[in-house]
Amino acid sequence: MDQDSHCTGERELLEAVSKITTSSTTSPSDEEDQAKAEISCQVREENPEKDDTQDSSATLSPNSSMTTKELQEYWRNEKRQCKQIKLLFEIPSTRIVEHNLSKYVMYKIIILQTGSFDSNKSVIERRYSDFEKLHRNLLEEFSEEMEDVTFPKKTLTGNFTEEIINERKLAFKDYLRLLYSMKYIRRSKKFIDFLTRPELQEAYGCLRGGQYTKALEILLEVIGLQERLTRGNPAAIVPTLCAIVVCHKDLENPASAFEYGEKALSRLCVHSSHRYYIPLLDTMITLAYELGKDFLSLQEKLEEWKTKKDPIRVFTLKELAVREYVR
């Protein structure tokens, strides 16, 4: 589905939500439920094909527990995301690393948003072998799309000369730009992992080791890039948001923990079967009570979920977080 038809579909959905709001003040609740069901059907018609990175429960269902207000907010966010954010890749510098008996070049990659001054640009470092692994992985899944994509070959000698390094800087910049220009590749887990996984692995390693300040520092740096790379799949960054909640909570910053918890919950409004949903709700109830905020609505959602699901072993939010990115 192209961008214009997608935007048209979102406008129609927003109009449907608006109709719910107009009728909800005078119509009984069963009519509102019917309207939600109609929206669910329309979503399925407008989105017959799911994105590669979409969660299996991303589509609304007639049994959704969302309120009218939550529906409005959800589709408002979807409309904002209708306009694609484009990213630029720059490789301004490199450094040579000598570790034990190995020697390699690290390429500094700056990722920034086009169209306006980007104060939240992301900076990562990758070596030649990281790019090489990405290329092999993408060839396995996108052999047809990668048919005309060239990759800079290794040389037997001269890999650390200024001339070769500068050539590869330009080559890798063009390589990333080309990959990002292809929709299915830029949305693929393999491409997103290349840009975010090393930092996330380090952050979760710090979290497991109780180094919450260091873990939080890394998570806050990567969350912006991760969000921009996965805009079509809001639930994709929920684990990272929840890890930030865990760090703030253990650092005794309940207000900040609650703030990021709200962001995570807003991305799960149509994902009540997500593994993080109940642990997050449980944590948010505790934080709301501690902060003197309204926790009854959260408690109602938790009880509603329990009445619909069979009793199962549910991990705590922290237990889930420490299991992420375990090698």
List, for residues 235-252, the tens digit of each pLDDT value: 999 999 999 999 999 999
Provide CB contacts within 8 A for 48, sequence distance 6+. none
pLDDT at 21 over 70: no
Higher pLDDT among residues 64 and 298, named by residue: 298
Task: Name the band, by pLDDT with cuts 50, 70 and 90, for residue 273.
Answer: confident
Distance CA(6)–CA(108), nearest Å, equals 36
Distance CA(190)–CA(181), nearest Å, equals 15
Average pLDDT over residues 214-242: 94
pLDDT at 151 over 70: yes
**98 has which bridge partners?**
103
Q: Give me the pLDDT at residue 3, please.
A: 46
Task: Name the band, by pLDDT with cuts 50, 70 and 90, for residue 221.
Answer: very high
Query: Any idea what DSSP says for residue 255?
Result: H
Average pLDDT over residues 172-179: 96
* Least confident piece of the model among 50-59, 234-243, 277-286: 50-59
pLDDT at 25 over 60: no
Percent of the chain whose pLDDT exceeds 70: 71
Q: Give me the pLDDT at residue 146, please.
A: 93
Task: Name the band, by pLDDT with cuts 50, 70 and 90, for residue 99.
Answer: confident
- Average predicted confidence (pLDDT) for the chain: 80
Task: Please give the domain boundaries of the chain with CATH numbers for all domains.
Answer: 86-187 (3.30.1520.10), 197-323 (1.25.40.10)
Q: Give me the pLDDT at residue 307, please.
A: 81
Q: Give me the pLDDT at residue 78, please.
A: 56
Average pLDDT over residues 229-234: 89
Query: Of 225, 262, 187, 234, which Cα lies nearest the Cα of 59?
Result: 234
Q: At residue 151, what are phi and psi to the nearest 5 degrees?
A: -125, 135
Distance CA(191)–CA(195), nearest Å, equals 7
